[in-house]
Amino acid sequence: MALEVGIVGLPNVGKSTIFNALTAAGALAANYPFATIEPNVGVVAVPDDRLRVINQYQPTEKIIPASVRVVDIAGIVRGASTGEGLGNKFLSHIREVDAILHVVRCFVDNDITHVEGTVDPIRDIDTIDTELALADLESVSSGMDKGGRQARSGDKEAIARMDVMKKCRDQLDQGKPVRGIEFNPEERKIVKGLGLITAKKVLYVANVNEADLHGEGPLVEKVRERAKVEGGGVVPICGKLESELAELGDADRKEMLESMGLKEPALAALTREAYKLLGRQSYFTAGPKEIRAWEIPVGATAPQAAGVIHTDFERGFIRANIYTLDDLVQYKTEAAIKAAGKLRAEGKDYVMKDGDITHFLFNV
């Protein structure tokens, strides 16, 4: 099942506009499939031009890109952590996603009211961070109350867990997210088990107007500075323009993009960045029935990658025969790649690289 990113933001920042554009049919050029599973959940294809290049040399019946599930989470207001607005519902949804796309309004428009009365992206980020930190603080405090007795009895695991929770509590007490703390690998495992919202990675989505499509204005700069401190990223998007593009056919969309000096919808860049945020990369399988991008964690071994296709492939893994897209472009066919000695046989310890084109041999 595809990993999930949750779109969060204050009311009226363009969050749902961007979600609707993401999941609209044809929103991502090249007719990639999409689906809206529920009113607030969509599956979005990860645009990848390498699939088209493979198809130039390998005719196929269908092309299947990797995908990301996107959840539109109810707008957050001050007091959400104490149940204001749709607070409790929103908190349960956001705990379940793997990473967060935080939509921040970076344009002034007197016709669109801002919930706080003025446009200030850093104040908006702080509002949401504070609500999430308060929700996590309650969760950590409750965990510390429950785990204290075990830790006092000398249980090593309970002591380690307690130490991590204290670190988290100290950070959250200052209204700061847990993702800002440096943890060692053992501590990171414990943090993952705590299910804290502010431990999740965040990508800021700066919603801009048509006069600042590349996000070069002062409001987006402020968001970039904030993201830099947190080790995160920023993608500028004009929600209004993306909505219009999503409703056009391929030819009209291409013409509109060209007239604005753009190569692709900004949503394509956003989807790719979301994929990276989740720590994902793709390898490919290619044949006459389908060319497909398979989603794997960065650092996955060849048997683990095989297991994404079917658990039997991992269990009975023998080897992976691998070549690169550059090999395919140079030699044109798999037979020619093999004849040139460029088809590599990789074993169980091989760590997959992004873009590997692969055949697995297995025996069960």
- 184 assigned to some structural domain: no
CB atoms within 10 A of CB 268: 22
Mean pLDDT score, 314-333: 98
CA torsion, ordered 244, 245, 247, 250, to nearest 10 deg? 160
Greater confidence, 329 or 73? 329
The yes-or-no verdict on residue 36 having pLDDT over 70 is: no
Residues 327-358 as b or e (16 or more Cβ within 10 Å = b): bbeebeebeebeeeebbbebeeebebeebbbb
pLDDT band at residue 86, thresholds of 50, 70 and 90? very low
Final residue of a domain: which of 247, 277, 307? 277
pLDDT tens per residue across span 39-55: 588 889 999 999 999 99
| Spatial CA neighbour of 282 closest among 25, 45, 32 | 45
Q: At residue 149, what are phi and psi to the nearest 5 degrees?
A: -65, -45
Do 342 and 208 sit in the same domain of this protein?
no
pLDDT band at residue 362, thresholds of 50, 70 and 90? very high
Instruction: Give the rounded percent of residues in the chain with a pLDDT score beyond 90.
Output: 66
- 60 assigned to some structural domain: yes
* Cα–Cα distance measured from residue 241 to residue 230, given in angstroms and rounded to the nearest whole number: 29
Do 264 and 326 sit in the same domain of this protein?
no
Do 12 and 70 sit in the same domain of this protein?
yes
Q: Which residue has the tokens 């919603």?
A: 207
Say what the pTM is: 0.87
* Cα–Cα distance measured from residue 166 to residue 140, given in angstroms and rounded to the nearest whole number: 8
Do 344 and 215 sit in the same domain of this protein?
no
CB atoms within 10 A of CB 218: 9
Greater confidence, 35 or 123? 123
Do 22 and 91 sit in the same domain of this protein?
yes
For residue 303, the domain's CATH number is 3.10.20.30
Do 11 and 110 sit in the same domain of this protein?
yes
Do 30 and 85 sit in the same domain of this protein?
yes
pLDDT tens per residue across span 131-166: 889 989 999 999 998 888 888 888 899 999 999 999
Do 15 and 72 sit in the same domain of this protein?
yes
Q: What is the pLDDT of residue 29?
A: 33
**C-alpha dist (Å) from residue 298 to 162, 164, 275, 295, 352:** 30, 26, 11, 9, 8
For residue 216, the domain's CATH number is 3.40.50.300
Mean pLDDT score, 259-275: 91
Do 30 and 109 sit in the same domain of this protein?
yes
Do 72 and 205 sit in the same domain of this protein?
yes
Average the pLDDT over each of 86-90, 184-188, 261-265 and give the range with the smallest value. 86-90
Domain containing 100: what range?
A: 4-114+201-277
Do 330 and 209 sit in the same domain of this protein?
no
Three-state secondary-structure class, residue 42: strand
The yes-or-no verdict on residue 181 having pLDDT over 50 is: yes
Say how many domains are in the chain: 2
Average the pLDDT over each of 70-84, 203-217, 279-293 and give the range with the smallest value. 70-84
pLDDT band at residue 246, thresholds of 50, 70 and 90? confident
Do 11 and 103 sit in the same domain of this protein?
yes
- 244 assigned to some structural domain: yes
